[in-house]
Amino acid sequence: MDVEVRNIHKTFGKVHANNNISLTVKSGEVQGILGENGAGKSTLMKILSGFISLDAGSILLDGKEVNIASPADSVKLGIGMLHQDPLDFPPFKVLDNLILGSHEGMIPNRKKVRQEFIELQKQFDFSISPDAYIDSLSVGERQQLEIIRLLWLGAEVLILDEPTTGISAAQKLQLFAMVRKLSEQGKAILFVSHKLEEVGALCTQVAVFRQGMNVGQMRPPFDNDKLVEMMFGKILTRSDKKCCAQENVNIEVSDLKIDDARLPIKNVNFCIQKGEVIGLAGMEGSGQGLLLRALAGIIRPTGGHLWLHEENGSKRDYVGKHYFDFKNEGISFLPADRLDEGLIAGLDLKEHFILAEKQNGFFVDTKAALQLTEKRIKDFNIKGTAENKVESLSGGNQQRAELALLRQPLRLLLLDHPTRGLDIESTLYIWSKLKQRCSEGASIFFVSSDLDEILQYSDRILVFFGGKVSKPLDANGVSVDQLGQLIGGRGWE
Amino acid sequence: MDNSWVISIGSIFAWAAPVIFGVMGETITERAGVMNLSLNGSLILTAMVGFVVGTTTNSFLLGFVAAAIVGALVALLIAFMSISLKQSQVAVGYVLAIATKSLAYFLGAPYVGKPVMLLPQVPIPLLSSIPIIGPILFKQTILTYLSYVAIFVCFWWIFKTHQGLVLQGIGERPSAAYIRGVNVNRMRYIYTAIGGGLVGIGGALYSLSVKTWNGQLSGFDGIGWIILAITIFGSWHPLKGALGAYLFVLLQYLGIVLQPLLPNVNSRIFQVAPFPLMILALLFVNIGNAEWVDRTLAGLPENVRRTIAKVLRAMRTSPPAALGIPFEKE
């Protein structure tokens, strides 16, 4: 089915989220839609999927103008949207999730649905059990399930909204293979992303959105520099890969053992040098998160040592110490879920700084806090004011705020997916700030599902597979392929 | 054979019928994502309405219909305040629990002492002549039979029908139900009203079958709160909820029966014991939710662990994730 939107306008208050956007996607095309956060990509997709109504403009399917007033309308017309966080029912069984909202009658014919589900799955080599509970599936599998559900309902146009956020490298390959197959079948696909590499690998044409406008189209071969310039209206320079690692050992991990019911980890041995960046690669849930939390003092290891080395050569074992002791030693942890674990939704930036800083006396020194907050907002280029509640900030600005909240000086910074969901500009900014910390002597230990990010910024890499931890690999001597093999469980002794 | 114990056990099912209707009503309401905290008050109000309408019109049917309507209206008030006006369901429900109770005692005062009429027992032919089970289960009032039916209809509706999936969906993740074409708020209104109606039948059942309207329902006031607890401990599952309701009534009944047999024990213990015993029993039903069980299981051999984990997983139900949260499309 061909989709066309003509002169779409949509405003939210003063913000012109979609300003005269026109776009045509023919059947069989994979249309990439690039743009930084807030460029208007999601608004257009929500209009197409019936979540929000347009102010002006028209939508045409196969040349016929249609009116989409609700998500149900858009599904009936053959438009299916995969939301960033798949909109399914976690406690349901796969089959029930499929049946809800289908055209099944009073008593659903489970046998028939099961058969149809298995047939559809076969086409794409998926193997999700129809009787599995959704909350036991990974995000990648839930995406697969959601796409299958949309196809089952007869979707001819598929909208994928940032689908690669939060899935593993292997699942990404599966997803891409599925998208290619669907486009061969003649489906029109809209692939929303802010990652150039993905768009380049998958799309047959790309539109770039900036400030609510469609600022240009491109067909392959894609000129990445040109695309970036279109996205940001200026040329961005990537920081050179520069190594700040020093000779001195910062932290030594020896024979570390973590008891976890599902994923016991043992015999972990490595040293972290001062100023070094170590990237943790592996499929989600292979043990990276556990090690990260053990080093932060949140999980208590059941054996081994965690030596903190001092300038004068002495060392102290920190296994079994309290999280606050770790924090006092300058070991800080930034969780992946910024609003749930990292920041406190409902409090504004100033209040965050009051909480983060050591307080003197009983009463809050609002004036000093305000000064500090405003200074940090400037230092870290946060788009927001001291009185902005953190949940009103964009993801990139929340992450900047988290970095701004860290104490000085730092010994070790532990990051769980530091740039998940951020656009390129924010990602570059965050990493420039992190590298600055490294040059001051802090070591960085980070988990990411983006292999390019790991290769780009790490000095050394640890690969995880099913609770096994590899020896540290030199990031300069290893390729994406090699890493992919290790992550997939091949090449381990 | 001495039949008195058979009659006694039979009366447990009769006593439990109002509780069953209450638990089913609340289960459906909460499954839809709305919490009807007014339960205790609306039970008393509908007990009064059922009694007054029933005795003045001399019609049981009208009594139950009137009580169901009043129950549904109270529930709709909560739905309106919470779904349309986005007010706190807890605050609104709590205030209504007190207001409806006072209203019942106020409006019902002139009718205290009116001639009593109690729902007659209608033995079911054949079934009631089965030894032991027959007289216990099938020599009851029509409404007690309906309470059995209500349990299975609720179970069947929630877990076997398409509409039941929709009901689970709107309480679990309304946004996901919305993209599947469900009018979330309308469905929530409907289920809240149905739930309230069932609660109303439960109320009328108390004053027209178990006891009568005597102006101060000392044995009944408070049951509404217990029903809320049974709904939670019954994990929003009609069968488990029914089990909890019967268990609670049984414990209360035992308290009355055992008291004369054990004169040395303080009588207050019999009055209070049902409550902690209830909590313990239902805790056991929900054992699959506990984390220490997971940890203990991890030590077992793989195949044993898998089997047990599967059983526990099947027993486990978590609260409707969107319970008490109003739904707003962006």
Provide the shortest C-alpha distance from residue A105 to chain B (in Å): 7
Selection from A236-250, A332-346, B276-290 with the highest mean pLDDT: A332-346
Q: pLDDT class for B94, splitting at 50, 70, 90?
A: very high
Which of B165, B173, B330 is the closest to A99 by Cβ? B165
pLDDT at A264 over 90: no
pLDDT recorded at residue A257: 87
pLDDT of the residue at A239: 57
pLDDT of amino acid B159:
92
What is the per-residue pLDDT for A493?
Answer: 67
pLDDT at A187: 93
Q: Parallel, antiparallel, or unpaired: how do β-strands A56-61 and A3-12 relate?
A: antiparallel
Q: Give the lowest-confidence range in A12-26, A365-379, B30-44, B252-266.
A: B252-266
Q: CB contact, 8 Å: B296 with chain A? A: no
Average pLDDT over residues A367-381: 89
Can you name the residues that pair with A317 across neighbouring β-strands?
Answer: A307
The pLDDT confidence band at residue B76, using thresholds 50, 70 and 90, is: very high
User: CB of A28 within 8 A of CB of A186?
Assistant: yes
Interface predicted TM-score (ipTM): 0.80
In chain A, count H helices and then E strands: 16, 21
* Residue B311 contacts A, CB cutoff 8 Å: no
Mean pLDDT of B315-325: 78
- Tens of pLDDT, residue by residue over A98-149, are 999 887 788 889 999 999 999 999 988 888 999 998 888 888 889 999 999 9
Contacts of A161 in chain B (CB under 8 A): none
Q: Are residues A72 and B181, on separate chains, in Cβ contact within 8 Å?
A: yes
Residue B245: inside a domain: no
For range B25-49, the mean pLDDT: 94
Q: Would the pLDDT of B143 be above 70?
A: yes
Query: Closest Cα of chain A to B298: distance in Å?
Result: 6
Question: Average pLDDT of A226-241?
Answer: 72
Mean pLDDT, chain A, whole residue set: 87
A6 near A395, Cβ under 8 Å? Answer: no
Distance from CA of A145 to the nearest CA of B (A): 14
B291 touches chain A (CB under 8 A): no
The amino acid sitting at A316 is R
- Highest-scoring range by mean pLDDT, A209-223, A310-324, B153-167, B288-302: B153-167
Average pLDDT over residues A459-466: 88
Q: Do B179 and A87 touch (CB under 8 A)?
A: yes
- Which of these ranges, A336-345, A484-493, B182-191, has the smallest mean pLDDT? A484-493
Paired sense of beta strands A3-12 and A15-25, if any:
antiparallel
Arithmetic mean of pLDDT, A43-48: 92
Residue A8 β-bridge partners? A21
Backbone angles phi, psi at A461, to 5 degrees: -130, 135
Distance from the A343 Cα atom to the nearest Cα atom in chain B, whole angstroms: 22
Please give the average per-residue pLDDT across B277-301, as a whole number: 69
B1: pLDDT strictly greater than 50: no
Mean residue pLDDT of chain B comes to 85
Q: Which of A72, A91, A262 sits opposite B318 (nearest CB)?
A: A91
Judge whether B27 and B234 are in contact, CB under 8 Å: yes
Please state, as a whole number, how many other Cβ atoms lie within 10 Å of the Cβ of residue A47: 23
The shortest CB-CB distance from B161 to any of A87, A90, A107 is to A107
Q: Is the pLDDT of residue A5 over 70?
A: yes
pLDDT of residue A232: 77
**pLDDT tens track for A24-44:** 999 999 999 988 777 888 889
A240: pLDDT confidence band, cut at 50, 70 and 90?
low
How remote is the C-alpha of A276 from its chain's centroid? 23
Is residue B207 one of the residues assigned to a domain?
A: yes
Question: Per mean pLDDT, which range of A242-256, B95-109, B201-215, B305-319 is the poorest?
Answer: B305-319
DSSP A70-90: SHHHHHHTTEEEE-SS----T
Q: Which two tokens stand for residue A95?
A: 């089959």
Q: Using pLDDT thresholds of 50, 70 and 90, give the confidence band for residue A238.
A: low
Distance from CA of A110 to the nearest CA of B (A): 10
Other CB atoms within a 10 A radius of the CB of residue A36 amount to 22
Work out the pLDDT band at A286, boundaries 50, 70, 90.
confident
Residues of chain B found within 8 Å of residue A105, distances taken between Cβ atoms = 162
In this prediction, residues A187-210 reach a mean pLDDT of 89
Predicted local confidence at residue B114, as pLDDT: 73
The span from the CA of A79 to the CA of A190, in Å, is: 10
Residue B313 pLDDT > 60:
yes
- Inform me whether the C-beta atom of residue B305 falls under 8 Å from chain A C-beta atoms: no
Q: Which residues pair with A447 in a beta bridge?
A: A280, A416
On the 0-12 / 13-18 / 19+ scale of CB atoms within 10 A, B68 is buried
**Which residues lie closer than 8 Å to A302 by C-beta, 6 or more apart?**
A257, A258, A259
The partner residues of A331 in beta bridges, in order of sequence, read: A412
Residue for token digits 């039970």? B43
Q: A279 φ, ψ to 5°? A: -100, 140
Predicted pLDDT of residue A33? 93
CB neighbours of A468 closer than 8 A, spacing ≥ 6?
Answer: A287, A492
CB spacing of A89 vs B179 below 8 angstroms: no
Residue of higher predicted confidence among A237 and A192 = A192
**What pLDDT score does A77 carry?**
93
| Residue B284 forms part of a structural domain | no
User: Chain B 97-136, CB below 8 Å of chain A: which residues?
Assistant: none
Expressed as residue numbers, the domain containing B121 is 4-231
pLDDT at B26 exceeding the cut of 90: yes
Average pLDDT over residues A349-370: 85
- Domains in chain A, CATH or no CATH each: 3-232 (3.40.50.300), 249-487 (3.40.50.300)
A1: nearest Cα among A31, A27, A30, A28: A27
Residue A88 distance to chain B (closest CA, Å): 6
Between the alpha carbon of residue B245 and those of residues B209, B218, B226, the distances in Å are 17, 19, 9
Whole-angstrom distance, CA of residue B206 vs CA of residue A333: 59
pTM of the model: 0.77
B271 belongs to a structural domain: no
- Nearest Cα of chain A lies from the Cα of B212 at a distance, in angstroms, of 40
The answer to whether position B160 is within a domain reads: yes
B residues 177-236 lying closer than 8 A (beta carbon) to A = 177-182
Encode pLDDT of A433-450 as tens digits: 898 888 888 999 999 888
Say how many domains are in chain B. Answer: 1
Question: Tokens 């403009």 map to which residue?
Answer: A57
Residue B290 lies in a domain: no
Please answer whether residues A63 and A45 qualify as being in contact, where contact means their C-beta atoms are separated by less than 8 angstroms.
no
| pLDDT over 80 at B188, yes or no | yes
CA distances in angstroms from B270 to A336, B246, B256, B265, listed in the order given: 53, 17, 7, 8
Instruction: Please tell me which residue, B200 or B265, carries the higher pLDDT value.
Output: B200
User: Which residue among B165, B179, B330 places its CB closest to the CB of A96?
Assistant: B165
Using the Cβ of A69 and the Cβ atoms of chain B, whether some distance falls under 8 Å is answered with no
Smallest Cβ distance to A89: which of B173, B317, B329? B173
Which of the four pLDDT bands, split at 50, 70 and 90, describes residue B62?
Answer: very high
Residue B281 belongs to a domain: no
Q: Is residue B13 part of a domain?
A: yes
Percent of chain A exceeding pLDDT 90 equals 30
- The reported pLDDT for the residue numbered A393 is 83
Nearest beta carbon to residue A87 from set B160, B175, B318: B175
